Amino acid sequence: MIGKPYKKTFVKNPISGTKFTIAISSAKGGVGKSTFATNLALALKNLGCKVGLLDADIYGPSLPKLFSINQKPESDGSNLKPIIKYDIQCMSIGFLTDEQTPMIWRGPMVTSTIKTFAQKVSWSNLDFIIVDMPPGTGDTQLTFAQEIEMDGAIIVSTPQELALQDVKRGIKMFDKLGVKIIGLVDNMSFFKGEDGKKYPIFGEGGVQRTAEEFNKEFLGEIPIDPEVGKSGDQGKPIVESNPDNEISKIYINFANKIKSNYLK
């Protein structure tokens, strides 16, 4: 007689020192996840929240550049201490390696590092920890979904159909793993010229259609603004460098939605 199929159960552990863990994901690279994660974290901070930022992209960490952090984290002998920049507690593999050092690691090493960042970092009294996820649907995503408590994920994409093919895989992954998708964001949705016209460089409406296809909330659009790239390259993201910019106001609006939904 054939018995019931074996089903492994996972005990999920929340990240110590935090109330809510929000993942910024896509499954597609180059759509602005890191820029979104850093600016959302800064927007939440500006609303009075205590925020942490975990760069979970082991192979391509962006946080050291986006926040202009060049120091290594201290340790108390058992835990790493997050580096504080712009009143945000930060951690990234990029703090522990040289900028041009490639991480030639297999999956188990990546998984071990992610668990260390989640469980062996002295995150302190945070309302939110924002997790900048890597592209794909691999070890990092599975570790967070199966073993670390996630309270929600925001899916970021450009409206280009090529990007949305991967995004749809990411949505299905989170649905299968039981992770709540807060909503989808259309990043770099259009460029507004000096003539006042909108130019949809990467297509138009694709992210909203995908949200409707999968019955997810569409959170809104973020247009292209060259100042966003410049401020990130200078290590001071747009919400911090120019909070009155229209893009900054969009991030503040996203942050208000997150805060009102979780901190009641």
| pLDDT-flagged residues of the chain (< 50) | 1-9
All domains in the chain, ordered by first residue = 21-262 (3.40.50.300)
Q: H helices then E strands: how many in the chain?
A: 9, 9
**Cα–Cα distances in angstroms (integers) from residue 6 to residues 2, 3, 9, 11, 230, in the given order:** 11, 9, 10, 16, 52
pLDDT at 42: 98
Residue 210 to residue 217: CA distance in whole angstroms: 10
- The whole-model pTM stands at 0.89
Taking the C-alpha atoms of residue 86 and residue 68, their distance in angstroms, rounded to an integer, is 11
Residue 53 is predicted with a pLDDT of 97
| Residue 178: per-residue pLDDT | 87
Looking at residue 3, what is its pLDDT? 38
Q: Which residue from 209, 149, 214, 136 is spatially nearest to 175, judged by alpha carbons?
A: 214
